[in-house]
Structure 1
Amino acid sequence: MHGLGVFRDPASVAVVGASEDRSKWGHWLAAGALTGAGRRRVHLVSRRGGTVCGQPCATNLRSLDEVPELVVLCVPATHVPEVVTEGLSLGVKGFLGITAGVSDELELARRIRSGGARLVGANSLGIVDTATELCLAWGSFTAGPLAIVSQSGQVGSELALLGERHGLGISRFVSLGNAADVTATELLADLADHSATEVVAVYLENFTDGSLLLRALRGLREVGKPTLLLTVGGSAASTRLARSHTGSLTSPLDVVDAACRAAGVARVSTPSELIDVARALLAARPPHGDRVAIIGDSGGQCGIAADVAHTNRLTVPAFSHDIGVALPAGSAAHNPVDLAGAGEQDIANYARITEAVLRRDDVDAAVLTGYFGRYGLDIPAIGGREVAVAQRIGAAVADAGKPVVVHSMGPDSATAHALWAVGVPTYDRIEAALSALRGLVAFGRPPELPLPYQARPLDALPEGYWETRQVLVDVAFPRGLVVRARAELARAARLTAPYVLKAAWLEHKSEAGGVRIGLATVDQLTAAYDEMSARLGPGDYVVEEQDIRPDTVEILIGARRDPDFGPLVVVGAGGTETELRQDIATELAPVSPATARDMLGRLHCAPLLRGWRGRPAVDIGGLADLVHRMSLLVAASPLVGELELNPVRVGPDGPLAVDALIFPVARQEARHA
């Protein structure tokens, strides 16, 4: 973070390329810089001289009466290097690069760093710090608690405008531009002690040096500044090139989501969603869990809310007993709670039911959906009563320590404003209300701390399945042996039939016809070997005892090394239909056994693990421990690019891996080059 103070509160600023033409960047930067003239010295520089915004312009930096701390580069691209050279010779400490198309930006950034200065940009849309009256960007900004760090200047501007529309002002705004020098990680870490910032919004398109980024994001979480990440899906090219199921199944967003969970960050999908969640975070207390009660005055709206809650991965538990408030005939009280006219009978019922629901031990938060907030607009005579009910709901929230989020058909009413004032976020759309609640849930539980680990790394990587079996000492495999000639098949008699025959060197054995199962005798095994070796050629063939235990479930356990965030661990529905099912959970490695168990619980096939239609539950604890140990191994083994056990057949008596692959990082990098 060396030298970033110059981008917060410089003692002096020079705008090089100032212009009197309001259609040009040089005008907006000059005008913005002059708004802070009461706090710092502002210099304007133009080759033509003259005046801009009523202030005389110098023709170059050297003719100024002092050396500016921060220089804004808003000259044609071909002139940028000479301005930088001049500034460095004078002792300038920071450059803000607005100009796009500068040739050899990385070399320019290297020169700036070696000269003891720093560069934000180039191709930046500017910097704003409302706490220090620093405005070096197009447009005007209202002061507030939201900091924006954006790789796209236009997306950052949209966030600022959306925030202003909803009364949410900006504490800091930084457009990274091409980030030739100063990085998003540095700027985010620099916000930790920025007192005006309460919530951080970050838009990133790539995640270079992901481990350092995670450290900065964790730091913001630790000092109570929740961070919201907006990103794009990225290219699927890297997953198409992956050699294992693990690599082909995990998308860029899967990895980003795992990193967000590790850092205690919430990822959002759109700028509007980011602002909705930010407003909720500033108004309400995050819940301790994801169990949501839905309250409404329309069965249809309650049902829609329940569906949207499910889409947002929120739980709507069925109540096991009555909520304790009398409701009209035809109402529903087992979650969702449909008032069925009770609100019209007595508007105070909205508060009574909310109070009752928040007292329940099986509820972490509540959503109120429907007409509440509009009664006062339609019937002004009861507007005061509706506001009083809103204040009573706010008191219930404070007493219970659980949030309530409201979807109202009167989002701009006095009642809606009263709800916001008492810490109850209120939105005009149910999807906005529930995505905001999902964002709150993300900050309700502390992220798992990085897991300290000691594991013996793999110093040399195996070739083929048989060698992989030998190095994975923590994995249980079926009894087996390797054969390289037909005469060696007689040794299979020491194993228990039925047998499985595998071509050990093949990565995807089923697709290549390199595996045969259900071989009941040595004669059948020999015939299968003759056919397979004639077709595939000589090599290591593995004979194993076939796992015929009843009540088993096939699971994939995989790990791979992401170029940005490092080792990942993946669990999913296993077997030959893994890619068809697309049922996976991903986390950064290593993971604790508890996190591994949570990953397994997130799978769509999780009911099979717990016991389905009378079948016994499998050994989930043993399976989670195996996931934990594989995550430790890949985290400790920098040579491992991908590792996969698929399938792992897990039954009530534990997991048994029946295939395994390990690919080195060097081979993976070669494929991705």
Structure 2
Amino acid sequence: MNVVREWAELMEQCKIGDAPVAMTEYQGTKQLADLGFPVVEGYLATTEDEAVQYSRQIGYPVVMKIMSPQILHKSDVGGVVLGIQNDSDAKDTFGLLLRNARQYNSAAIIHGVLVQKMQPKGLELIVGVNRDPVFGHMAFVGAGGTTVELLKDFSMRLLPINEVEAGSMLQQMKIYPLLSGYRGANPLDEASVIQLLMKLNTLCSELPQIKEVDLNPVFVYEHGIAISDVRILLEKSRQNTPANRIKQRYLDKMFNPKSIAVIGASSNVKKNGGRLFHYIVKHGYKGKLYPVNPGAEEILGYPCFPSLEAIPETIDLACIIVRAEQTPEVLESCIRKGIKAAIIYSSGFAEIGWEGQLLQQKITEIADRGGISLCGPNSIGIASPILNTYTAFGMALQTDHPISGPIGFVSQSGAMGSALLSRAWEQGVGFSRWISVGNEADMAIPDFIKFLVDDPETKVITAFIEGIKDGSAFIDAAEAARQARKPLVLYKTGISEVGQRAVQSHTGALAGNDQAYQCVFAKVGAIRVENVSELIDVSRGFMMPVLPKGNRIGVVTASGGACSVIADGCSAIGLNVPQLSTGTQQVIAECIPPFGAVQNPVDVTAELLSKPDMFKRVLQAVVADPNVDALLIMLTTSADPVASVVARAIVEVRDQADKPILVGRLGADFLAPQALQYFREHQVPVFPTPDRVVKVMKYLVEFGMHQYGKEEILINLINK
């Protein structure tokens, strides 16, 4: 494409470096016009006479704007005048704009004044692109004009997009009814806005040097659109360093080692090396175990070796827990020993500053040279409860009864990850794998997600994320999880950096760091929870054997108050509580007393306590209703033995249903220990409050909509 070549030449002329270079609006408008974008007609005037000439040529009224690379927000400095009606005004305005520009910045380079046709009023949108440093180009569309940053009504998508995704972006905006025809008004030209997004999609694929394209306002009419203002930033195209995919093949030795050497093992459990070795032994590791410490003869009954080379057997996994400065030599020993997987627990690397960064770079280079898959440094370690393999020193492992299960957990915070592990075990929730990634000098979050996708022991993948280094690798891993139908549940720390970026452009104000993550998570079907405790709740929810195929929720309770609470909670987050069919209501009416409620939510009343068997018939009727996609049961204060009968009924209905069933129970645990134990034995998660069980249901529906491709329901859930 000739225009793309011209842009590349322009970048060369600008001597573009690490900092972005802004085109003037005239340059950007001309380039987009050459590409067929519907920009408003305009010409660059460098004298008063040219300003008058171009105004006549275009036809009054016109708009005039100062053109300077040093003046980005022209309106703020008196650099834009609207509604110029005649030659005299055009001449006077030209001089006024030059004076205002020089008063604002006497050193500013003035290219001239852009003269444009004054557009009739229409719906004002902002349409554009921002290149996120981690994930790449993001397209966005939203309410435009001067209030764009105030309203912040916009939708984003990770590029590339198709026309269906572009259309869904428009539908996600709160002002979408103004496009589609509000209160009987004629609909506006949606199709042209979609085509504009698609043109930006193509442009970014052919010119990766684009940093930002800010089109604001874009006037939308019943027929056609007009781009009135253009801002384009160019910068060097940055490529992420590709992950070392070859080394991923050795992750199996990290998670399923048949032999382990602990370098820095100790008999003193107050030291990290002592705790690590103690936990490996305590929790029943079945493979060969070799402590390495030149100052000891034996540790916990295991013969101790002075070095790795002194061990006569081959080693699958090296657990390195020595001082940071000793780590490079230990890794060299790993190479000589032929070890292909290592965990470095030691701190004192990139997290402490420049010297630590150099040391971390050194160990990474050694690992690369030896083809070693490396977890860490600054890692708490890895646990595989499913195999009784605990190569970690987190205090959660003080427990005598760790629990295995189907959840794989990855954390960039070792302390938070260990705390969540202990809380999950306390609730009876088991893990297949638990991973503290540390500084991610080598293997990173995406590598471990990909491992869990391929791990037959893992059904749900959960992650505590502070930031992603390689966006494309994360997207690949998340896509793999979606293809494998394994839910990816994420908690991402860190709120948007909008305050630091908004000073540059509207796009910076909208496409902040956190918004980019949110956009990517939505694109790949990852479930982003709002708080840390939801990581456990939602992971438990995904232990259900089936997913909802829609957002229509049947609700059964034994309390009128609970009916109201659940109905309000569902409505607030985009879940529909539909009317049950006449046949279903008739079945329920035959089971419950006349003062109960046969509508949805169903109130079986306190008769549940004296007639628990009827509860099962009600559940069967509701879950079989064609208007229901999932069933939510809210119990209150039932106690054993009645609670146990209810629990058995729920499990029996769950086992026969082709729809997911979630259970909430507000009563104290001590009232029904047998029922709760029955639920745990049959892998039925029970949530202690109405808001928590409703929220988990929302996430199940959201993931189900990704799997079943129901974009319209997803939009409603995301907006909520």
TM, length-normalised to structure 1: 0.61
Q: State whether residues 320 and 342 of structure 2, in contact with CA within 8 Å, keep that contact through their aligned partners in structure 1.
A: yes
Letter matched to residue 151 of structure 1: Q
Q: Tell me how far apart the structure 1 counterparts of residues 514 and 550 of structure 2 sit (CA, whole Å).
A: 23
Letter matched to residue 430 of structure 1: P
Change (3 A) 1:425 1:132: closer
Pairing partner for 1:56 from 290, 294, 303: 303
Letter matched to residue 303 of structure 2: P
Q: Tell me how far apart the structure 2 counterparts of residues 224 and 22 of structure 1 sit (CA, whole Å).
A: 41
The aligned counterpart of 2:475 is 214
Residue 700 (structure 2) pairs with residue 440 (structure 1): yes
Change (3 A) 1:349 1:44: same
Letter matched to residue 416 of structure 2: V
The aligned counterpart of 2:363 is 108
Q: Tell me how far apart the structure 1 counterparts of residues 342 and 492 of structure 2 sit (CA, whole Å).
A: 27
Where 1:13 maps in the other structure, the secondary structure is: strand
Q: State whether residues 13 and 33 of structure 1, in contact with CA within 8 Å, keep that contact through their aligned partners in structure 2.
A: no
> Gaps (5+ residues) in structure 1?
450-593, 605-673
Pairing partner for 2:659 from 383, 386, 402: 402
Where 2:463 maps in the other structure, the secondary structure is: strand
Q: Tell me how far apart the structure 1 counterparts of residues 675 and 407 of structure 2 sit (CA, whole Å).
A: 25
The aligned counterpart of 2:335 is 88
Q: Tell me how far apart the structure 2 counterparts of residues 308 and 20 of structure 1 sit (CA, whole Å).
A: 53
The aligned counterpart of 1:352 is 617
Change (3 A) 1:246 1:144: same
Pairing partner for 1:128 from 383, 402, 419: 383
Letter matched to residue 24 of structure 1: K
The aligned counterpart of 2:26 is none
Q: Tell me how far apart the structure 2 counterparts of residues 152 and 437 of structure 1 sit (CA, whole Å).
A: 27
Deviation (angstroms), 1:297 = 2.6
The aligned counterpart of 1:70 is 317
Letter matched to residue 343 of structure 1: L
The aligned counterpart of 1:495 is none
Q: Deviations over 1:498-555 (max 9, x none)?
A: xxxxxxxxxxxxxxxxxxxxxxxxxxxxxxxxxxxxxxxxxxxxxxxxxxxxxxxxxx
For 1:188-203, list aligned pairs within 5 A: 188-203=449-464
Deviation (angstroms), 1:7 = 0.7
Q: State whether residues 705 and 714 of structure 2, in contact with CA within 8 Å, keep that contact through their aligned partners in structure 1.
A: no
Where 2:408 maps in the other structure, the secondary structure is: strand
The aligned counterpart of 2:428 is 167
Greater fraction helix: 2
Q: Tell me how far apart the structure 2 counterparts of residues 597 and 364 of structure 1 sit (CA, whole Å).
A: 13
Residue 520 (structure 2) pairs with residue 259 (structure 1): yes
Q: Deviations over 1:192-239 (max 9, x none)?
A: 332222222211111222232122122233334322212213342477
Deviation (angstroms), 1:163 = 2.3
Deviation (angstroms), 1:125 = 0.2
Q: State whether residues 328 and 362 of structure 2, in contact with CA within 8 Å, keep that contact through their aligned partners in structure 1.
A: no
Letter matched to residue 360 of structure 1: D
How many residues are matched? Answer: 452
The aligned counterpart of 2:630 is 365
Change (3 A) 1:37 1:275: closer
The aligned counterpart of 1:182 is 443
Residue 671 (structure 2) pairs with residue 414 (structure 1): no
Pairing partner for 1:294 from 525, 549, 555: 555
Q: State whether residues 75 and 99 of structure 1, in contact with CA within 8 Å, keep that contact through their aligned partners in structure 2.
A: yes
Where 1:289 maps in the other structure, the secondary structure is: coil
Q: Tell me how far apart the structure 2 counterparts of residues 346 and 131 of structure 1 sit (CA, whole Å).
A: 41
For 1:212-361, list aligned pairs within 5 A: 212-237=473-498, 240-241=501-502, 243-250=504-511, 252-318=513-579, 323-324=585-586, 325-326=588-589, 328=593, 331-344=596-609, 346-361=611-626
Where 2:309 maps in the other structure, the secondary structure is: helix
Q: State whether residues 386 and 431 of structure 2, in contact with CA within 8 Å, keep that contact through their aligned partners in structure 1.
A: no
Letter matched to residue 390 of structure 2: C
Pairing partner for 2:326 from 62, 72, 79: 79
TM, length-normalised to structure 2: 0.57
Q: State whether residues 35 and 135 of structure 1, in contact with CA within 8 Å, keep that contact through their aligned partners in structure 2.
A: no
Letter matched to residue 22 of structure 1: V
Deviation (angstroms), 1:341 = 4.4
Letter matched to residue 323 of structure 1: Q
Q: Deviations over 1:455-475 (max 9, x none)?
A: xxxxxxxxxxxxxxxxxxxxx
Q: State whether residues 702 and 714 of structure 2, in contact with CA within 8 Å, keep that contact through their aligned partners in structure 1.
A: no
The aligned counterpart of 2:85 is none
Change (3 A) 1:78 1:393: closer
Q: State whether residues 394 and 423 of structure 1, in contact with CA within 8 Å, keep that contact through their aligned partners in structure 2.
A: no
Q: State whether residues 498 and 508 of structure 2, in contact with CA within 8 Å, keep that contact through their aligned partners in structure 1.
A: no
Q: State whether residues 552 and 628 of structure 2, in contact with CA within 8 Å, keep that contact through their aligned partners in structure 1.
A: yes
